Structure 1
Amino acid sequence: MLDAYTVAGLLASLSALWILRSFLTRDKASHQLPPGPKGLPLIGSLLDLPRRQEWETYSRWSDVMSVTALGQRIVILGSFEATMDLLEKRSAIYSDRPYLALTGDLVGHQKTIPLCPYGDRMKKLRRLFTKTLGTRKLVESFEPMIREGVQDLMLNLLDSPDKFREHILLMTGANALFLSHGLRVKDPKSERIFHLANIVAQDFAILATPGRYVVDYLPFLQYVPSWIPGTGWKKDVAQYKQHVEDAVKIPFEAVRRAMASGTEIPSFCSRNLQDPDDSPDHEDCIQYGSMAMYTGALLLASCVLAMILYPEVQTRAHAELDSVLGSERLPDFSDRDSLPYINALCSEVLRWLPVTPLALAHKTTEDDTYNGFFIPKGTIVQPNSWRLLHDQNIYRNPTEFMPERFLAGNGREPELDPKNMAFGYGRRICPGILLAESTLFITIATMLSVLKFSPVEENGRYVMPPVQQTDGLVSHPVPFQCNINPRSAHAEELVRSAVEMR
């Protein structure tokens, strides 16, 4: 058996050859790439790439810039115009995903919508969502399930407000399982399926973070034996892969059993299983397609943070809700057109602290040129959504939480709808966007009709939480404390009565 030093030398040599091959085989016109750090021989600009809060570093670079890391070309898009020009108008060649050896191939996420290569499987996965969630009418059929989840969240926030982050994650995960498989979560601490959904969402946020594993840049490393030093990541692969397989198969089989006994609840899985499609990959696409609903995002935590830091926004939201609802009922989906400020507030939540500051990367399938710059086939194209959503040429005072920016008035047109950036781009836009918007509206409207949020006090002074996001592909506000109280005894009773009457 080779000693560790020999193995290390061989791996270094192979890595150098792989990177050198990338340089030698790239198009001669590569010197016309968009501007960026010059980088070092072989490793390129790898050392220039930020390791945390990447979107902030990229925001200080040019609107369209490029780097080369270990032979891989990466173009960062930091302007709305360039992003729309390439990912929307030229979506036919900008809709592929980068090949991630570990995350996509070895773990299995390449079979899911987020990382699925552009092609027949991706189109079929998206058709499954179109058939179940592609119109407002279809989404309306899921409204009773969503409403129950929101009511449960309100009850939990009333009973133990100090655990609001835990309650938000519970509602997100429970709703995902209910909508994807028709499975009710009664006791999240003991239910394996619920635990798996959360684990897979957390795993994906880690795995899909650029630069997390070198094997994603140097795919040949996946074939290196596990006894060689430095391959401890292979143990991670086995664990991540098992999580995906369990999260795919266990709830799917539960739906199968329910359908056999006639007790299934309408869901993404059950509705698509009733489709007479007999193609060999139909069930596989349903199983992996359902995983697109799993998310651990704490978008509502951003709303809570904003209500604490901007009490005038909360006051105006309360006033609008009271004028439309009175004090006799909770909000409903049918109130959406009557609550323009709440709708604007939802849009501002999407914009202010985006859940994915860096959108999932795209990849070019053909050579292209843009504004005189050459973008070769196989280039990773990374939209910096945070910069787009904080562009002062699009949004006035972009760091401020201002729902009114999305309302017309005083001769001013509404500012750009953030869903153009918050839900992805081009042919990779989130297929569940209508469901997401509807869920966000009813949750925030109900939350603000029932609750009041305020900062905690220490030694007679308010402690204001920081506006700071976590690192990673999926980002959310760093943990903070706050006070959450019912707006009135009657508001609390409305929630408790709604839950009891179900």
Structure 2
Amino acid sequence: MSPSADGHLALLAALPVSFVVITALKRFLPRGQHKPPLPPGPIPLPLLGNILSIDTKQPWLTYTQWGAAYGDLVFARILDQEVVIINSQHLAQALLDKRSRVYSDRPYLATLEPFGLSYNMGFARYSDEWRLSRRIFHQTFRPDSALKFRPMQIRRAHEMIVNLIDDPQHYYAHFATFSSSVTMSAVYDYETSARDDPLIHLVVNAVEASAGVMTPERAMILKMFPFLLNLPDWCPGSSIKRDARVTTNLSNEMVNVPFDYVKQHMVDNPISSRSSMVGEHLQRMEEQGQGLKPMLETALKAAASTAFVASYETTSSTLMVFVLAMLLYPDVQRRAQAEIDLVIGRDQLPTFEDRASLPYIDAVLRETLRWEPVVPLGIPHATISEDIYDGYFIPKGATVMCNTWGISRDEKRYHDACRFMPERFIDDNGKLTDDDPARYVFGMGRRICPGRHTADASVWSAIATMLATVNISLAKDDQGETIHFTPEFTAGITRYFVSSWVLPSSHY
């Protein structure tokens, strides 16, 4: 089903009489005489709320416009859902960080369980099970623990460069292999093949299948009409059930196959296999009481598969943004390469020991995160209880969105924000400024990305190695003429630049 068809079906799903009555009662009955006003926002239509005003492909653009009109805290209604939009880093820190006890839940998504996606702790509701998975994740990827992955990340970056030079046309596949192989090593101690690895394909298939169904429209349809999951296959409308069956099977494979690999690897090689996140925690589980083992194993599977999926989607997407920036701003590429040549020379490749001496490379990384954030709205939060902030009432159960895109394009903070300008993060003394977009692009509060330190290191190692070894330029046609293009991005929770008109070539 196409996104536009899903959208029309979702709109029709909002209009049954029962839904109209419930929504009308909820919306128009008085809130109580002593409650403060809701935050300002666009006037909602009866029953539909503000859904018709939102750019469904790029909603962050709508929310940024609302921020300019109503302020950093905006209230809207999307059908029966109350939505609060945060348009500044300061306000996001005040609510998501300092009041995390209120803002650490996730909205209910009717698609998670039926489509086999409940393993993903990024979308999980705030609970004891989520906290256990989060603790497992943090133990492996906290800053001091993540240092042990750096030699492996550099090695994987070098493998990526070999693939790029050997097969430059399939650069996105090489980025995906790089990001996945780093996570597979860290999480499962699995050595991926340079190309066409079976476990990488397993993840790619599961992620691509879930991306097509993890839409707000699908969640809305199932919330309104859960009986669609029980329709016979021959019945109109049963495509949702068939998609759910396919996605569930792929997701179960992705969760269980690499996990079972670690179990077998521990039997075959009990020493080295325990260096991975799964191996280390399986060893700990052997020392726990048997009553705790099923819960711990479930939490470990969730943490491991979430790390895998998140890395595949975000790291490779960020590297695609970097490629686009180097195409559109070749002067930046030349300046970055000149810094590497000056500091390191041409007879060796950058390592993490060189990072402090390469401030412009770090500025390029920061600007890559800021310029085209790959998760422009983050993952929505939800309020666990009512709250009052700055005289405004924020309801319990409201969906809270942090508009990362709007923060990154704030002209008061980032002059000429549409331009890729790493210099904005370099002060007059040639040092990095205190402004680091990583402080908001990886989320905030208790739901901040726990793998952000490893992700940052992966992206830096890939960017630094590419700049030291290849030139990124437009491809040419059979007549030797440069092929120009208009940048296009995918739509969804994670977005990335798509093009086949890029051709990395040897730098030296």
Q: After the TM superposition, which residues 343-358 of structure 1 pair with which residues of structure 2 at under 5 Å, given as runs?
A: 343-358=362-377
What residue number does 1:232 align with?
239
Pairwise CA distance, 1:271: 1.4
Residue 499 of structure 2 is matched in structure 1 by 479
- CA–CA distance in structure 1, aligned partners of residues 30 and 386 of structure 2: 11
Partner of 2:65: 60
**Structure 2 counterpart of 1:291, one-letter code:** S
User: Is this contact kept in 2: 1:308–1:454, CA < 8 A?
Assistant: yes
Aligned residues: 477
- Range with greater deviation from structure 2 (169-178 or 335-344): 169-178
Change (3 A) 1:132 1:440: same
Counterparts of residues 185-224 of structure 1 (less than 5 Å) = 185-186=192-193, 188-189=195-196, 191=198, 193-215=199-221, 217-218=223-224, 221-222=226-227
How far did 1:23 drift?
A: 3.6
Distance 1:31 1:73, change over 3 A: farther
Q: CA deviation at 1:403?
A: 1.2
Contact kept in structure 2, 1:395 and 1:415, CA below 8 Å: no
Structure 1: distance between partners of 2:52 and 2:467:
46
Counterpart of 1:326 (choices 345, 363, 368) is 345
* Superposed CA RMSD: 2.7
Q: Which amino acid aligns with 2:313?
A: G
Structure 1 window deviating more from structure 2 (464-473 vs 142-151): it is 464-473
CA distance in 1, matches of 2:97, 2:453: 19
Task: Give the equivalent residue in structure 1 for 2:297.
Answer: 283
Equivalent of residue 452 in structure 1, options 465, 471, 474: 471
Whether contact under 8 Å (1:77, 1:384) holds in the other structure is yes
Per-residue deviation, residues 273-295 of structure 1 (Å, max 9, x unmatched): 12234424111111111122222
Correspondence for 2:87: 78
Aligned to 1:36: 41
Structure 1 residues 194, 456: closer, same or farther in 2, change over 3 A? closer
For 1:160, the aligned partner's letter is D
Q: Is the 8 A contact 1:59 1:78 kept in 2?
A: yes
User: Could you say if the C-alpha distance between residues 34 and 429 of structure 1 is closer, same or farther in structure 2, counting changes exceeding 3 Å?
Assistant: same
| Structure 2 residue 174 is matched with structure 1 residue 167 | yes
Q: How far did 1:31 drift?
A: 8.8
Range 430-439 or range 168-177, more displaced: 168-177
| 1:69 corresponds to which of 47, 59, 78 | 78
Q: Match of 1:233, as an amino acid?
A: I
Deviation track 1:110-154 (CA, whole Å, cap 9, x = no partner) reads 343201111222221121122112123x22222232223212210
Identity within the alignment, %: 32
CA contact (8 A) 1:394 1:415 kept: no
Q: Which residue of 2 aligns with 1:131?
A: 139
Q: Which amino acid aligns with 2:386?
A: D
Indicate how the Cα distance of structure 1 residues 10 and 330 shifts in structure 2: closer, same or farther if over 3 A, else same.
closer
Separation in 2 of the partners of 1:76 and 1:43?
18
Moved more, 51-60 or 171-180: 171-180
Matching residue of 1:158? 165
Of the structure 1 ranges 229-238 and 267-276, higher mean CA displacement relative to structure 2 is found in 229-238
2:84 is paired with a residue whose SS is strand
Q: Which range moved further: 220-229 or 68-77?
A: 220-229
Q: Is the 8 A contact 2:228 2:241 kept in 1?
A: no
Cα displacement string for residues 332-387 of structure 1 (whole angstroms, at most 9, x for unaligned residues)? 12111111111111111111111101110000011112233211000000111111
CA offsets, 1:380-402, max 9 Å, x none? 00111111011112212211111
Q: Distance in 1 between matches of 2:499 and 2:142?
A: 35
2:108 & 2:118 partners in 1: Cα distance? 8
Q: Say if 1:96 and 1:117, in contact at 8 Å, map to a contact too.
A: yes
For 1:118, the aligned partner's letter is Y
Cα distance in structure 1, aligned partners of 2:154 and 2:431: 35
Shift of 1:18: 4.8
Amino acid of the structure 2 residue aligned with 1:60: Q
Aligned ranges 1:40-439 → 2 under 5 Å: 40-62=45-67, 63-102=72-111, 104-136=112-144, 138-186=145-193, 188-189=195-196, 191=198, 193-215=199-221, 217-218=223-224, 221-222=226-227, 225-227=230-232, 229-262=236-269, 264-265=272-273, 266-275=275-284, 276-278=287-289, 279=292, 280-293=294-307, 294=309, 295-297=312-314, 298-409=317-428, 414=433, 416-439=435-458
TM-score norm. by structure 2 comes to: 0.87
Kindly state the Cα deviation for residue 70 of structure 1 after the two structures are TM-superposed: 2.6
Partner AA of 1:479 in structure 2: S
1:431-481: CA deviation from partner (whole Å, max 9, x where unpaired): 011101111111111111001112345677655543443211110113241
Judged with a 3 Å threshold, the aligned counterparts in structure 2 of structure 1 residues 339 and 187 are, in CA distance, closer, same or farther, namely: closer
Q: Distance in 2 between matches of 1:89 and 1:465?
A: 44
Whether the 8 Å CA contact 2:386–2:393 is kept in 1: the answer is yes
| Mapped partners of 1:139, 1:427: distance in 2 | 19
1-structure distance, mates of 2:209, 2:38: 34
Q: Which residue pairs with 2:7 in the alignment? A: none
1:183-221: CA deviations, max 9, x gaps?
222275361x22221123334444444334323553x62
- If the length of structure 1 is used for normalisation, what is the TM-score? 0.88
Matched to 1:289, the amino acid is A
Report the counterpart of residue 3 of structure 2 in structure 1: none
CA contact (8 A) 1:77 1:382 kept: yes
Question: Following the alignment from structure 1 to structure 2, what is the Cα–Cα distance between the partners of residues 160 and 224?
Answer: 44
In structure 1, stretches of 5+ residues that fail to align are 1-7, 489-502
1:208-253 per-residue CA deviation (whole Å, 9 max, x = no partner) reads 44334323553x6257631464343122111222222111111111
